[in-house]
Amino acid sequence: MTQDPIETRDRYRHYLGIQTRWSDNDIYGHVNNVTYYSYFDTVVNCFLIAEGGLDIRDGGIIGVAVETMCRFRKPIAYPEAIEAGLRVGKLGNSSVRYEIGIFRAGEDEAAASGHFVHVFVDRDTNAPVPIPAPIREALERIKAEAPGNKGRSKR
Amino acid sequence: MSDPSKQSRDDFPYRMSIPTRWGDNDMLGHVNNVLFYRYFEAVVVRFQMQEAGVDWINDRISPQAVETMCRFHRPLSFPETVEAGLKVERIGNSSVTFAVALFGEGHKTPAATGHFIHVFVDSETLKSRPIPAETRRAYEKFR
């Protein structure tokens, strides 16, 4: 198993508060591992809709997940409210790699962290398309900035 | 390792069928990416209970998920039945890595491939513990 440095709040550029729900907990009383990816989905899509003008209903371009990953460090549990931190690690022509941290209230170290790669495609043909300008501008604003960090874009 | 997206069902010694459900599809008409992990979990947990002797209710030392990953090669969609395949990729001292793949109906290559890492933890001290010997022997049979 690779041991990456523990992610801290200062490494993310955008935050979304998420209220956990009763049904997020499994029989151990902790949020089930699968549910973390619904938090990933939520922070990414809320950002694209609010900041990039993504139209999930009628837009001709959609984001398709091609790879996701999560490392689980500390449990979280309903009824706590969490925060999802978001930054852009790599911005390509038609794809973007988001890096996400899940934080408990008042804690600086992430309870879980991972990534999510989106490819933007034409809704009808499924062919990759360049990231639309308003979305690209929004993604540029949350690019990872720490020098020498592995999430930094190398393009 | 060869390109995982080219693997076949025969590359995975443990398999189970998972019928998709209406509610698995999102508004684009495909199974949502999050649900792929629900299928991963189903095959991993069933394997652990049926083949590796794991009893999450009664055992003091039991596996917990520490890392999962999925690559999405092709969509899945209700009402197809998914075939999930599993093989043991790596056996550590206290952790085991499963390679997992999901096959859609009528396809020889997987719709998704990824991994699921379990670490054995003492439920009282929350410290990692060595994989029990019988469980380790079971893993060896599914490499």
pLDDT for B44-57, tens place per residue? 999 999 999 999 99
For the CA atoms of B70, B73, B79, B81, what is the dihedral angle to 10 degrees? -70
CB contact under 8 A, A62 and B28: yes
CATH number reported for the structural domain that contains residue B96 in this entry: 3.10.129.10
**Tokens read off for A60:** 């001709």
Give the lowest-confidence range in A5-9, A79-83, B66-70, B132-136: A5-9
Task: Give the Cα separation of B33 and A68 in Å (integer).
Answer: 9
Task: Give the Cα separation of B139 and B143 in Å (integer).
Answer: 7
CATH of domain A10-141: 3.10.129.10
CB B4 within 8 A of CB B71: yes
Which of A149, A151, A126 minimizes the C-alpha distance to A62?
Answer: A126
Which pLDDT score, from 0 to 100, does residue A151 have?
46
In the block, tokens 């988001």 appear at A98
**Tokens read off for B131:** 């994989």
With 0-12 CB in 10 A as exposed, 13-18 as middle and 19+ as buried, what is A54?
buried
Question: Could you read off the pLDDT of A103-143 as tens digits, one per residue?
Answer: 999 999 999 999 999 999 999 999 999 999 999 999 999 99
Q: Is B1 a residue whose pLDDT tops 60?
A: no
Q: What is the ipTM of this complex?
A: 0.95
In the block, tokens 């693997």 appear at B7
CB A7 within 8 A of CB A113: yes
Which pLDDT score, from 0 to 100, does residue B70 have?
98
Which of A66, A39, A69 minimizes the C-alpha distance to B30?
Answer: A66
Q: Which residues contact A27 (CB under 8 A, 6 or more apart)?
A: B56
Rounded percentage of chain A residues whose pLDDT exceeds 90: 88
Which pLDDT score, from 0 to 100, does residue A152 have?
43
Best residue in B30, B37, B126 for a mutation probing chain A (most A CBs within 10 Å) = B37
Q: Is B137 a residue whose pLDDT tops 50?
A: yes
Task: Give the Cα separation of B62 and A48 in Å (integer).
Answer: 39
Kindly list the residues of chain A whose beta carbon comes within 8 Å of any beta carbon in chain B: 1, 27, 32-35, 37-38, 40-41, 56-57, 62, 64-72, 123
Which pLDDT score, from 0 to 100, does residue A3 have?
56
Residue A88 backbone class (left: φ over 0; alpha: ψ -120 to 50; beta: rest) = beta
Instruction: Order across the sheet with A81-91: list the strands.
Output: A14-19, A81-91, A95-104, A112-122, A61-72, B61-72, B112-122, B95-103, B81-91, B14-19
Task: Give the Cα separation of B12 and A83 in Å (integer).
Answer: 38
Q: Which residues of B touch A33 (CB under 8 A)?
A: 37, 41, 65, 68
Best residue in A33, A43, A100 for a mutation probing chain B (most B CBs within 10 Å) = A33
**Spans of all domains in chain A:** 10-141
Sorting pLDDT into bands at 50, 70 and 90, what band is A145?
A: confident
Print the domain residue range for B76: 4-140
DSSP string computed for B28-45: TSSB-HHHHHHHHHHHHH
| 8-state DSSP, B74 | S
Which of A127, A145, A139, A123 minimizes the C-alpha distance to A51?
Answer: A139
Number of separate domains in chain B: 1
Rounded percentage of chain B residues whose pLDDT exceeds 90: 94
Best residue in B31, B35, B68 for a mutation probing chain A (most A CBs within 10 Å) = B68
CB B13 within 8 A of CB B77: no
Q: Which residues of B touch A65 (CB under 8 A)?
A: 33, 72
CB B99 within 8 A of CB B113: yes
Which pLDDT score, from 0 to 100, does residue A25 have?
97
Sorting pLDDT into bands at 50, 70 and 90, what band is A155?
A: very low
Q: Which residues of B touch A66 (CB under 8 A)?
A: 71-72
Question: Could you read off the pLDDT of B92-128 as tens digits, one per residue?
Answer: 999 999 999 999 999 999 999 999 999 999 989 989 9
Sorting pLDDT into bands at 50, 70 and 90, what band is A1?
A: very low
Q: Which residues of A77-89 are buried (b: 16+ CB within 10 A; e: fewer)?
A: ebeeebbbbbbbb
